[in-house]
Chains A and B, each alone.
Chain A
Amino acid sequence: MATGIRDKVAIIGMGCTRFGERWDVGAEELMVEAYEECIADAGIAPREIGAAWMGTCFDEISVGKSALPMAITLRLPFIPVTRVENFCATGTEAFRGACYAVAAGAYDFCLALGVEKLKDTGYGGLPSFVGSNSGSLTWQWFPNMTAPGSFAQLASAYAAKYRIPDQDLKRAMAHVSAKSHANGVLNPKAHLRKAVTEEQVMAAPIIAHPLGLFDCCGVSDGAACAIVTTPEIARRMGKKDLVSVKSLQLALSNGEEMGYNDWDGEHFLTTSTASRKAYQEAGITNPREELSMMEVHDCFSITELVTMEDLHISARGQAIRDIMDGFFDRDGRIPCQVDGGLKCFGHPIGASGLRMLYEMYLQLHGRAGERQLDNPRYGLTHNLGGFPSMNICSIAIVGRHGE
């Protein structure tokens, strides 16, 4: 009988680069920057790493195929290194691989690193990736679609289902973005570090109605990294106040959203499913009461808004009320995007999942500086790769070991 991952793996080191338009460095330097912080934090020698996972989404741009770019750049000692890719869930996939390897007893120490170097394209958005490598039915299902367009449809469907006036939805989305910008001000590694008002967000040009410029995250260059081991080994190393993994869940669309009529386009079937399993694995019965903080996939403001319902924190149709009540603000009940989120910390696709875990790790160790929260217990991270109609959702929950 499977017992899940809860408390079987401890995170003993993490590192994260400053995200942004890193014209000054390549993917290799980004990997080194994250890795050096991480291995110094872990307090182990490189030769002790038993296996490694590398996450990058657009290997074609600036990184290269296979896991060799990481193995060579970090001079890893001829160990198994696996490259993973699962859209925006890529970083968490690398972390998942490392965690399961440790939990299985295959290795004492494993490394997970996510990296992306996208800004060299000179283009504000993502390169097109919905080719034949997304599956043979992809072209039939969405022959001509953009990310802002598809998430705008999510917003429209949500507003229609719950009869929300356009201005109310835009105001709530503006609050989501203004909150992340306010948090980004406090994060020296964030890409954007200036506050904006809700009025500025609402006044910005429309990208795909009702999503405006500030409702859409951009993409960045960056890398993030974690080293994991067992709690027993961590304790033998003298580590105290261990941060351990409580849950790792992943749910992928199976075509049900696009192929049948039951889904009305206003929420994520994957997130709803993965979060239920994640809470069960972590032993959480009431996430609204038990979670201390979250980093969710705010690729668009509406994604964050809807995700609060799919995470079963806000009731269906009630996320707007929670958002406007400040429930997810830094001084609210469950602070969300404390590090600035995708919108302000930035979004180097393959690194984002590990970047989210980095913030949870810092918060749980009381090392988050100006944005430190008061005594957090459980932190949840959420990635959503793809589109509302076909996506990959990963959820991780971390917390203090044994609690």
Chain B
Amino acid sequence: MLEITVIMNSAVAEVFAWKCCGGGLPDQNLEIQVRNPGPLPVHLADRFDLEGPGERLAWTAVCPAGGRTIATGDVGALYAAMDEAVWERFTTLVLYDGEGKPYRVPLLHRRSGA
């Protein structure tokens, strides 16, 4: 099982914007932090779904492209540019591993991230 923390309006957006301005990574304000306490590495796909009342949205503009492999005991994150108005329509984020297995995370809609 993965430990997933979702941070909207994360402080990392400013660092991405400053350090990666040549890489086309503005406004990466959504941080999805994932810890892998399990015995095997997990590859996270570069996509997630958002679910809300009567609505489902597939989100594919996720950094890093190609997803990310999280080693045992390690922590890694995915990032996305997310409009707050869109974000607040949804109550669940569904992350996928490389084999398509879903990981559901309830959203708390905390406006300010760590």
Contacts and interface: CB of A to CB of B under 8 A. Distances in A.
Interface of A: 21, 122-125, 167, 181, 191-192, 194-197, 199-200, 202-205, 213-214, 216, 218
B15 interface: yes
Contacts of A194: 11, 14
B51 interface: no
Interface stretch (B71-79, B81-89, B90-98, B101-109): B71-79
B33 A124 contact: no
Contacts of A200: 7, 10-12, 31, 33, 77, 114
Contact of A167 (B20, B68, B74, B76): B74
B42 to A, nearest CB: 14
Contacts of A124: 18-23
Contacts of B18: 21, 124, 191-192, 218
Nearest to B19: A218
Given A123-B21, A125-B22, A199 B33 contact: yes
Contacts of B63: 205
Contact of B114 (A21, A191, A196): A196
Contacts of A167: 73-74
Interface string B56-70: 000000011000100
Given A21-B18, A124-B21, A202-B74, 4 more contacts: A123-B21, A124-B20, A167-B73, A203-B31
**Secondary structure dominating the interface of A:** loop
A197 B114 contact: yes
Given A123-B22, A192-B14, A203 B75 contact: yes
Nearest to A197: B114
Interface in B38-61: none
A192 B14 CA distance: 7
Contacts of A216: 19
Interface of B: 5, 7, 10-12, 14-16, 18-23, 31, 33-35, 63-64, 68, 73-77, 114
B76 A203 contact: yes
B32 to A, nearest CB: 9
A122 B63 CA distance: 20
A374 B10 CA distance: 33
A195 B21 contact: no
Contacts of B114: 195-197, 200
Contacts of A181: 11
A21 to B, nearest CB: 7
Contacts of B11: 181, 194-196, 200
A213 B31 CA distance: 14
Given A122-B22, A123-B21, A124-B21, A204 B14 contact: no
Interface centre among A21, A205, A213, A218 (most CB of B within 10 A): A205
Contacts of A196: 11-12, 15, 114
A213 B76 contact: no
Given A192-B14, A196-B12, A202 B75 contact: yes
A205 B16 CA distance: 10
A202 B5 CA distance: 14
